[in-house]
Structure 1
Amino acid sequence: MPIVWIGFAVFVVSLLFLDLFVLNKHDHVPRTREALGQTALWMAIGLGFSGFIYLAYENGWVYSDLPAHTAMINYLTGYLVELSLSMDNVFVIAVIFGYFQVPAKYQHRVLFWGILGAVFFRLAMILAGVYLLEQFDWMFYVFGLLLLYSAYKMVGKGEEVHPADNPIIKLVKKVVPVTTEYHGHDFWVRKKHVLAATPLFVALVMVETTDIIFAVDSIPAILGITTDSFLVFSSNILAVLGLRALYFVLSSMIDKFGYLKYSLALILTFVGVKLMLHEVWHPAEWVSLVVIFVTLTAGVVISLMRKTPTEHLDDPTEITAPSRVPEDHQL
């Protein structure tokens, strides 16, 4: 494994250690100012990493024929795409936390371990995606159609999220015993000499499977920008690492961005068409970056200028800790 991959792995582990044992050492509900500060920090790290990308490709630290400036632009474009698509994931996570009535002060813990697992799943999916595109040219059309279908679903009538109908959740219920009460921030407890999962663990499994589903959209989108595995993985992971802080910023104001889904749909459509026309259309790398940035900015600005009816939760971070899980949630 090239040294740059090992170095990046150490870098990510260091960031995770900083997040869990320094920034969020104690269970608590992040205040808006704290969440905004952490979001700014993660974005600064993600954007600042583009400088390392330039140096790595300029000095040949990564085995690639890409010019340094092209690699940097591709990284920034991929980072922006993943960050924008993560905003849609925030709503689904809010629904999951609301359904399981996850106490607000434990939500960060669920997000941390959920995203940690997503790092490994996404690495496997990215390497598999890159391999398929390199070996089978027709996969460009498959990924392109997948993105177009995702764009269609995004602007169509959204499907309601029903955590209880998730097959993974049903499997958890059958395989391991699950308590009906929360036990602090523990995922597992021992009751009468039997190791049982808590509702917090079930919520974690749901968040994990949901992230994998969203990765089916986001990873092909980044592969439509570049098939360089290091650029795809680094931009994807650094965007995902900031999702926890971003959740606490957006969860209480997601209803203010009613037009953002149209911007995300346009971005997916643009990348999908670019994939399907890869043999005849080769726009400059900066074109993709500009199109995605302008489209995303337009969606945010229009949303703030015009009020739109939504069905989002009012403020999922305000959920109080229940003493027991509701009867229809018992596992």
Structure 2
Amino acid sequence: MQVSTTVWILTLLGIIGLLAYDFFFHVRKAHIPTLRESAIWSAAYVGIALLFGVGVWVFAGSDPGTEYFAGYVTEKALSVDNLFVFLIIMGSFAVPRANQQKVLLFGIVFALISRTVFIFLGAAAIDRFAWVFYVFGLILLLTAGNMLKPDDEDSEGENFVVRLIRKVIPTSEGYDEDKLFTVENGKRLMTPMMVVMLAIGGTDILFAIDSIPAIFGLTQSTYIVFTATAFSLLGLRQLYFLIDGLLDRLIYLSFGLAAILGFIGVKLILHALAENTLPFINDGEHVPVVEVSTGMSLVVIIGVLVITVVASLVSPAGKAKNAVGNARRHATQYLDIGYWGDPDAREKSYGALEEEIKTIKALPEKHRARIRNEREFLELLEAAEQEHARAARGEAPAETPTDEPPSGR
């Protein structure tokens, strides 16, 4: 697929324009987006991506069009999986809900930059070395295997890089609205907001190593790889707030993605065998193999995702995990609002927490037994309940000895 310089420039300008619009009209002023706002803009970005795919289909042909849609669906699924990690990172750093939009937009921009670098490096390698497909296929198979391993989440949510940053660069203990730097006792310090963004950026690089080989397994057109990746990332911020309550419920998503990456990995290795030039394989000659068409790949990818999502939504284990995730979020939000915050917002948050607690109590005994073993979660619920009881009695919070709001709040 030959793409002119003019088309490349117009595409880049369009993507940059969408990101700029997102920042200046949605993210610049910190706020918690409503469900309606998130739904409208998620639908808008998906619509733009689909219209672009139709344009590729009409002007470039059915094969490039199919490649674009297969790449877009795959990258979109992988980006949703990335949201789980973003959720863990922001939760471990207790990022205020209103400031999460800025963190997510930074993550999207950094992901787009890192993936663009990997795309052009990968395209250059493919043009020069046919054996790169073996490498890409092996990466995807290893990634698929890692996805099947039990989760081992760091309770502190901090990797080595983040801990190193905290040691080298002076960091404040608390947030200063959504600022990246603040001044305490006359010293300029980096806020946790900056640390979170660096953590998100570091994980984006790791995600790129997995996602780029996946889409190169579906198409070798640099333009299609770039646009499918870019449009899968655009709107990810809105999608986060739209499906936030469902993220914990997609318990089988990792299995579905493992199946998709494994399938594409095998497809890449088959393609590498068909284009083989390595002397120690079939004496450097092409190996006659059956290759999987892009159309079949699209059917398999969509089919696996549908089965995975449906299985997750109807699973009792998924319902239990979703209830726990929602309760944890509502309890954290209730405590974050603070005793001196908006009383209506506090009551609404606590009411939502009570509804999730009712859902948890209605779960089968085996799921409730597992929840009773989650000490940190139970302590969080107890803290929210005690805080609410003190507020109902008109008492000040335990850490506040006076009836006046703490200074600076």
Aligned to 2:193: 200
Q: TM-score, normalised by structure 2?
A: 0.72
Q: Is the 8 A contact 1:256 1:307 kept in 2?
A: no
Please state if 1:15 is matched with 2:18. Answer: yes
**Following TM superposition, by how much is the alpha carbon of 1:74 offset from its aligned partner in structure 2, in angstroms?**
0.6
**Following TM superposition, by how much is the alpha carbon of 1:163 offset from its aligned partner in structure 2, in angstroms?**
5.7
Q: Distance in 2 between matches of 1:165 and 1:114?
A: 16
Q: Is the 8 A contact 2:253 2:312 kept in 1?
A: yes
**Following TM superposition, by how much is the alpha carbon of 1:25 offset from its aligned partner in structure 2, in angstroms?**
4.6
Aligned to 2:85: 92
Of 228-237 and 175-184, more deviation after overlay is shown by: 175-184
Which of residues 285, 302, 308 in structure 1 aligns to 2:311?
A: 302
**Following TM superposition, by how much is the alpha carbon of 1:250 offset from its aligned partner in structure 2, in angstroms?**
2.4
- Deviation track 1:176-202 (CA, whole Å, cap 9, x = no partner) reads 221111010111224455432110110
Aligned to 2:402: none
Aligned to 1:60: none
**Following TM superposition, by how much is the alpha carbon of 1:86 offset from its aligned partner in structure 2, in angstroms?**
1.3
Of 298-307 and 272-281, more deviation after overlay is shown by: 298-307
Of 104-113 and 191-200, more deviation after overlay is shown by: 191-200
Q: Distance in 1 between matches of 2:143 and 2:316?
A: 25
RMSD: 2.2
Higher RCO structure, 1 or 2 (CA under 8 Å, sep 6+)? 1
Please state if 1:281 is matched with 2:281. Answer: no
Please state if 1:230 is matched with 2:239. Answer: no
Q: Is the 8 A contact 2:74 2:301 kept in 1?
A: yes
Q: Distance in 1 between matches of 2:205 and 2:329?
A: 23
Percent identical residues = 35
- Deviation track 1:289-308 (CA, whole Å, cap 9, x = no partner) reads 11111111111112222222
Quick one: which amino acid aligns to residue 48 of structure 2?
Answer: I
Quick one: which amino acid aligns to residue 176 of structure 2?
Answer: H
Q: Is the 8 A contact 1:110 1:203 kept in 2?
A: yes
**Following TM superposition, by how much is the alpha carbon of 1:317 offset from its aligned partner in structure 2, in angstroms?**
5.5
Quick one: which amino acid aligns to residue 235 of structure 2?
Answer: G
Of 104-113 and 274-283, more deviation after overlay is shown by: 274-283
The 5 Å alignment of 1:111-190 reads 111-161=104-154, 165-190=158-183
**Following TM superposition, by how much is the alpha carbon of 1:162 offset from its aligned partner in structure 2, in angstroms?**
5.5
Q: Is the 8 A contact 1:114 1:205 kept in 2?
A: no
Which of residues 34, 53, 68 in structure 1 aligns to 2:56?
A: 53
**Following TM superposition, by how much is the alpha carbon of 1:145 offset from its aligned partner in structure 2, in angstroms?**
1.3
Quick one: which amino acid aligns to residue 41 of structure 2?
Answer: Q
Q: Distance in 2 between matches of 1:196 and 1:72?
A: 49
Uncovered stretches (5+) of structure 1, i.e. residues with no partner: 58-67, 324-331
Q: Is the 8 A contact 1:50 1:75 kept in 2?
A: yes
Q: Distance in 1 between matches of 2:157 and 2:261?
A: 29
**Following TM superposition, by how much is the alpha carbon of 1:76 offset from its aligned partner in structure 2, in angstroms?**
0.7
Quick one: which amino acid aligns to residue 214 of structure 1?
Answer: F
Q: Distance in 1 between matches of 2:223 and 2:180?
A: 33
Q: Distance in 1 between matches of 2:12 and 2:156?
A: 32
Aligned to 2:213: 220
Quick one: which amino acid aligns to residue 77 of structure 2?
Answer: S
- Deviation track 1:108-149 (CA, whole Å, cap 9, x = no partner) reads 011111211222111101111122222222221111111111
Q: Distance in 2 between matches of 1:317 and 1:90?
A: 15
Uncovered stretches (5+) of structure 2, i.e. residues with no partner: 275-288, 339-409
SS of equivalent to 2:316: coil
Aligned to 2:325: 314
Q: Is the 8 A contact 2:136 2:213 kept in 1?
A: yes
**Following TM superposition, by how much is the alpha carbon of 1:104 offset from its aligned partner in structure 2, in angstroms?**
0.4
SS of equivalent to 2:218: coil
Quick one: which amino acid aligns to residue 15 of structure 2?
Answer: V
Q: Which has the larger radius of gyration?
A: 2
SS of equivalent to 1:252: helix
Aligned to 1:329: none
The 5 Å alignment of 1:6-85 reads 6-54=9-57, 57=60, 68-85=61-78
Please state if 1:251 is matched with 2:260. Answer: no
Q: Is the 8 A contact 2:110 2:204 kept in 1?
A: no
Quick one: which amino acid aligns to residue 302 of structure 1?
Answer: A
**Following TM superposition, by how much is the alpha carbon of 1:285 offset from its aligned partner in structure 2, in angstroms?**
2.0
Q: Distance in 2 between matches of 1:236 and 1:254?
A: 21
SS of equivalent to 1:196: strand
Q: Distance in 2 between matches of 1:152 and 1:7?
A: 39
- Deviation track 1:87-121 (CA, whole Å, cap 9, x = no partner) reads 21111111111110000000001111121122211
Aligned to 1:62: none
| Residues 317, 212 of structure 1: alpha-carbon distance in 2 compared, 3 angstrom cutoff | farther
Aligned to 1:107: 100
Quick one: which amino acid aligns to residue 293 of structure 2?
Answer: A
Q: TM-score, normalised by structure 1?
A: 0.87
Q: Distance in 2 between matches of 1:92 and 1:311?
A: 16
Q: Distance in 2 between matches of 1:82 and 1:123?
A: 13
